[in-house]
Amino acid sequence: MDLGLKDHVIVVTGGGAGIGEAITRACLAEQARVVVVTRFSENVKRFEAEMQAAKSRCEFVEAHLEDAEQCRRAVELVKECYGRIDGLVNNAGVNDRVGLGSGSPEQFTASLRLNLLHYYAMAHYALPLLKESRGSIVNISSKVALTGQGGTSAYAAAKGAQLALTREWAAELLPFGIRVNCVLPAEVMTPLYRQWVNAQADPEGALKKITASIPLGHRMTEAAEIAAMTVFLLSPTQSGHTTAQQIVVDGGYVHLDRVLT
């Protein structure tokens, strides 16, 4: 299926590792040009080296996205290099487990800056170029926006706000033909998730318990499956009449009756 993304310029925040890396790879497979805006971890450096060796059409911009000025500069750099933005994937973030009892108001605010505010900043600064291209925004949220989890107030607040912003932006941007949608992963094996599993007293036992609770196939969702939904929603040809949607890609984890597991 041709998604009509050839030569489109797609900006992916946090696109150098985990789900973001999978989204970057999926966009490149559709012959898009990708600009990854991210902090530079060891995983990101490895991925950047791989892309450079392959002469891939993928650029990496280092930015601390909690700083709105760095978001602005990243968008300006894309404008200078390509003169356009056809798609924005807001993906960067981390569950820092700032809970109601375990955190503080200061930590809560810092977490929102880390996980939420750059979604607005990137969309705000990219908006003029998205209007020109009649482009698309895809926000990556999380199951905790719908279910709650316990011990993660700030992350849940950020992810819930991303759902609200998706609907709000979809309404505001209708006159410009800009579609805005949201993808919600649940249990996806990323480097950060593996790190959390390995920190458990019985890592394999913990992982077995989690996969047993996932109805479809009793397995983790693959990052590539989140990426496939994301690039579909970016597509102007195959999802050109889809906007304001929140799509859960999780093997039925959130919505199916627990009796199934």
**pLDDT tens sequence across 130-156:** 999 999 999 999 999 999 889 999 999
Average pLDDT, the chain: 96
| Domain assignment of residue 261, yes or no | no
* HEC letters along 192-243: HHHHHHHCCCCHHHHHHHHHHCCCCCCCCECHHHHHHHHHHHHCCCCCCCCC
**Hey, what are 181's tokens?**
């949608």
Domain count, the chain: 2
Instruction: Give the DSSP per-residue string, 27-94.
Output: HHHTT-EEEEEE---HHHHHHHHHHHHTT-SEEEEE--TTSHHHHHHHHHHHHHHHS---EEEE----
| Domain assignment of residue 49, yes or no | yes
pLDDT, one tens digit per residue, over 214-243 is 999 999 999 999 999 999 999 999 999 999
Q: Identify whether residues 103 and 151 lie together within a single domain.
A: yes
Q: Identify whether residues 212 and 113 lie together within a single domain.
A: no
DSSP secondary-structure letter at 139?
E
> What is the CB neighbour count within 10 angstroms for residue 128?
11
The per-residue pLDDT for 214 is: 95
Q: Identify whether residues 175 and 51 lie together within a single domain.
A: yes
The per-residue pLDDT for 132 is: 98
pLDDT, one tens digit per residue, over 69-85 is 999 999 999 999 999 99
- CA dihedral angle for residue 197, residue 227, residue 38, residue 70, rounded to 10 degrees: -130
Q: Identify whether residues 115 and 180 lie together within a single domain.
A: yes
* Cα–Cα dist 77/58, whole Å: 14
Domain range for residue 202? 187-220
Parallel/antiparallel/unpaired status of strands 136-140 and 179-185: parallel
Whether 193 shows a pLDDT value over 90: the answer reads: no
| Domain assignment of residue 259, yes or no | no
Q: Identify whether residues 231 and 212 lie together within a single domain.
A: no
pLDDT, one tens digit per residue, over 53-62 is 999 999 999 9
| Domain assignment of residue 116, yes or no | yes
Q: Identify whether residues 213 and 144 lie together within a single domain.
A: no
Banded pLDDT at 195 (limits 50, 70, 90): confident
The per-residue pLDDT for 194 is: 87
Query: Of the residues 119, 125, 155, 253, which is catalytic?
Result: 155
* Cα–Cα dist 35/106, whole Å: 32
| Domain assignment of residue 3, yes or no | no
Q: Identify whether residues 176 and 196 lie together within a single domain.
A: no
Q: Identify whether residues 202 and 231 lie together within a single domain.
A: no
> What is the CB neighbour count within 10 angstroms for residue 84?
16
| Domain assignment of residue 124, yes or no | yes
Q: Identify whether residues 151 and 204 lie together within a single domain.
A: no
| Domain assignment of residue 102, yes or no | yes
pLDDT, one tens digit per residue, over 20-48 is 999 999 999 999 999 999 999 999 999 99
* Cα–Cα dist 231/48, whole Å: 20
120 annotated active-site: no
The per-residue pLDDT for 257 is: 84
Q: Identify whether residues 113 and 147 lie together within a single domain.
A: yes
The per-residue pLDDT for 261 is: 77
pLDDT, one tens digit per residue, over 91-134 is 999 999 999 999 999 999 999 999 999 999 999 999 999 999 99
Q: Identify whether residues 141 and 203 lie together within a single domain.
A: no
* Cα–Cα dist 142/125, whole Å: 24
* Cα–Cα dist 256/71, whole Å: 38
CB 23 within 8 A of CB 227: yes
Residue 239 sits in a domain whose CATH number is 3.40.50.720
Q: Identify whether residues 169 and 101 lie together within a single domain.
A: yes
The per-residue pLDDT for 1 is: 83
Residue of 260 and 61 predicted with greater confidence: 61
Banded pLDDT at 196 (limits 50, 70, 90): confident
| Domain assignment of residue 252, yes or no | no
- What value does the mean pLDDT take over residues 168-197? 95
